[in-house]
Structure 1
Amino acid sequence: MLILSFIIILLFVLTLCFSLFTGNTMFSPLKLWNDFIQGQSNTTEYRIFMYSRLPRTMAAIAAGAALAVSGTLIQAVLNNALASPNIIGVSSGAGFFALLSASFFPMYPGLVPISAFWGALLTSMLIYLIAVKTGASRITLILSGVAISGILSAGIDLITILYPDDVIGATGFMVGSFSGITFSSLFPAVFLIGIGILFAFVFSYDLNILALGESTAASLGLRVSSLRLLVITVSALLSGAAVSFAGLLGFIGLIVPHICRALVGHDYRKLIFYAAAIGAIFAMLCDSLGKLLFAPFEVPVGIVLSFLGSPFFLFLLFAKKRGRIYE
């Protein structure tokens, strides 16, 4: 486990440097360091680093960690390895409410992350209510989420048509992108993400008990319904905060939990930590690839994630036996 942790830390540092110092304008860390030491804050390289590369990389770290942990929590509480914030419609709910806030209350940009959280929470609760009331199977639950996501996506399209001036940059929001992010728009969401990940660690032991089965967990004194409600709320907080600045990013919450389970097993005390770290690495890597693959043209990170995530989702469908979707 120490070796794995060392490898993850090394990969994080390498990916961080790759994200910070690659793009349309290439410059060396040594040149940037010399400018910083000499107080030359007006150089082109320094401005690009401070006002473009650094907030963009921080956004990738925050969104990747948040969506990966959110996906881990959703898969745990729904007992379904095909669940993730984008697939079951949680991200669409966050995006819909975020655009509503931007359209009707443009003078209060601080409402966007809060609105995204409530959108994610209400969507999560609706999906969970469907599962409870209908006794839906895991595949039916996924299909219900896809249907809800379709309705919310139609609502997002309607808002962008009716209020085009208030929803500037909606194309990037719909696809998912870290381009143009500033520190002022990032910090409120990062604060919420930090709280969400902290609570995820708090509930990790209870999630291990829940994994034993509902009846066993209840016999051990665990309040299953209360735990599910709390975990869904934390998951909504994470996905909503990420959507508020990164847009409708997909598949991080699906791919990363599977990678983590293959590496460290099913102990959520380890899973949540590694999901946050690998999610951040994965988001930074995909964003860097988007900057370099078709340079000087830039591909939004959401497109790169879709190219990687869609085949992975199909692989899960074909690899698992019907009715046994969870590992």
Structure 2
Amino acid sequence: MLMKHFLTFLPHSKKRFFLLYFTSGALLLLSILLGLSLGSTHLSFSSLLTALKDGAYQAPEVRIFLYVRLPRLLASLLAGGALALSGAVLQGALGNRLASPSVIGVNAGAGFAVTLAGALGILGGLPLSLFAFGGALLSVMLVSLGAKKWGLSRGTVILLGVALNSLLGAARDAVTVFVPDTAILGASFRVGDFSGVSYARILPAAVLIPLASLILFTLSNELDLLTLGDENAYGLGLHAARTRALLLVLSAVLAGAAVSLAGLLSFVGLLVPHAVRRFSGASHKHLLPLAFL
């Protein structure tokens, strides 16, 4: 009754977005509760709170919560939000509804770096995540440098990304041929999972993802102008090339941090923006935060 009374004072457009944010937040909260309670071992929140209140930090349910469920939940929230936001930004900046983090070489760079790390004997933990993040950023830097040389147009960025994907994919396969043991590690990373996630692996992403996301939220108007085309954007006072370069870098930071946590879950960055756009419309003012949620 209280919400119904509150909604009567809102204009129709604001009412729609309020319901969208409220529904997204409620679904997110439900997902958090399910993620913390469901698993091979059922956790009762009442017994967990009792154990924490009594200081029984070595109790099995407390250890499962603190060292398994909570890190996995934080990693999934950060990675999912980052990939969805990165995909939404790339689709707007490149003017291509099929764009995703894999288009600018993030997946290929991270996959090659992980395979190379396996060949060097790095099989897990924070060092492997750092290799993945570094590979993703390095590949995007190569795309950005090439695009800067030949022009930061939409088509140039996409073509360079596709070319780099093919090149790094071939390099990854070559490493696998010479060091066959890396095939298992590479396959596991390409499938993506959150098993074995620790707070040490989460910490870099927990700093980079919120920071890059907040900056992107402030650039929603510039992103709307880019969707009008470069000539129209220039006519409205926006430097399209510089803005697109900044958006690409921030998207790469998001995707690289997410890949270092979860592996190559590229479908999130492709599908979620399309699903959200059906309800929020094309304006990035609401599309970006709703995609992150």
TM-score normalised over the length of structure 2:
0.81
Aligned residue number for residue 106 of structure 2: 90
Q: Is residue 194 of structure 2 the alignment partner of residue 175 of structure 1?
A: no
Q: 1:236 to 1:133 in 2, by over 3 A?
A: closer
Aligned residue number for residue 121 of structure 1: 140
Select 1:39's aligned residue among 55, 66, 75. 55
Q: 1:133 to 1:196 in 2, by over 3 A?
A: closer
Q: Is residue 258 of structure 2 the alignment partner of residue 242 of structure 1?
A: yes
Which amino acid in 1 is paired with 2:281? G
CA contact (8 A) 1:59 1:186 kept: yes
- 1:53 deviation in Å? 0.8
Matches for 1:179-194 after TM superposition, within 5 Å: 179-194=195-210
Q: 1:203 to 1:120 in 2, by over 3 A?
A: farther
- 1:171 deviation in Å? 3.4
- 1:9 deviation in Å? 0.8
The percentage of counterpart residues that share the same residue type is 36
Matches for 1:142-181 after TM superposition, within 5 Å: 145-146=161-162, 148-160=164-176, 162=178, 169-181=185-197
Aligned residue number for residue 215 of structure 1: 231
- Partner Cα separation in structure 2 for residue 135 and residue 2 of structure 1: 34
- Partner Cα separation in structure 2 for residue 148 and residue 13 of structure 1: 39
Considering only CA atoms, is the larger Rg found in Structure 1 or Structure 2? 2
CA-atom RMSD, angstroms? 3.1
CA contact (8 A) 1:68 1:253 kept: yes
Map Cα deviations across residues 91-141 of structure 1 (whole Å, 9 max, x no partner).
222332355467559598384365134234235437857995998599xx4
Of 145-154 and 262-271, deviating more is 145-154
- Partner Cα separation in structure 1 for residue 27 and residue 182 of structure 2: 40
Q: 1:130 to 1:25 in 2, by over 3 A?
A: farther
- Partner Cα separation in structure 1 for residue 208 and residue 24 of structure 2: 24
CA contact (8 A) 2:192 2:263 kept: yes
Aligned residue number for residue 288 of structure 1: none
- 1:228 deviation in Å? 0.8
Of 169-178 and 38-47, deviating more is 169-178
CA contact (8 A) 1:67 1:242 kept: yes
Q: Is residue 128 of structure 2 the alignment partner of residue 112 of structure 1?
A: no
CA contact (8 A) 1:86 1:249 kept: no
Query: SS in structure 1 opposite 2:135?
Result: helix
Q: 1:190 to 1:160 in 2, by over 3 A?
A: farther
Select 1:78's aligned residue among 53, 73, 94. 94
Map Cα deviations across residues 135-172 of structure 1 (whole Å, 9 max, x no partner).
8599xx47x75554343233334445555778984432
CA contact (8 A) 2:105 2:162 kept: yes
- Partner Cα separation in structure 1 for residue 202 and residue 270 of structure 2: 24
- 1:6 deviation in Å? 1.0
Q: 1:174 to 1:127 in 2, by over 3 A?
A: farther
- Structure 1's unaligned 5+ residue stretches are 278-327
- 1:65 deviation in Å? 0.7
Q: Is residue 73 of structure 2 the alignment partner of residue 57 of structure 1?
A: yes
CA contact (8 A) 1:90 1:123 kept: no
Select 1:258's aligned residue among 274, 277, 292. 274
CA contact (8 A) 1:20 1:57 kept: yes
Pairs aligned (count) = 274
Aligned residue number for residue 11 of structure 2: none
TM-score normalised over the length of structure 1:
0.74
- Structure 2's unaligned 5+ residue stretches are 1-16
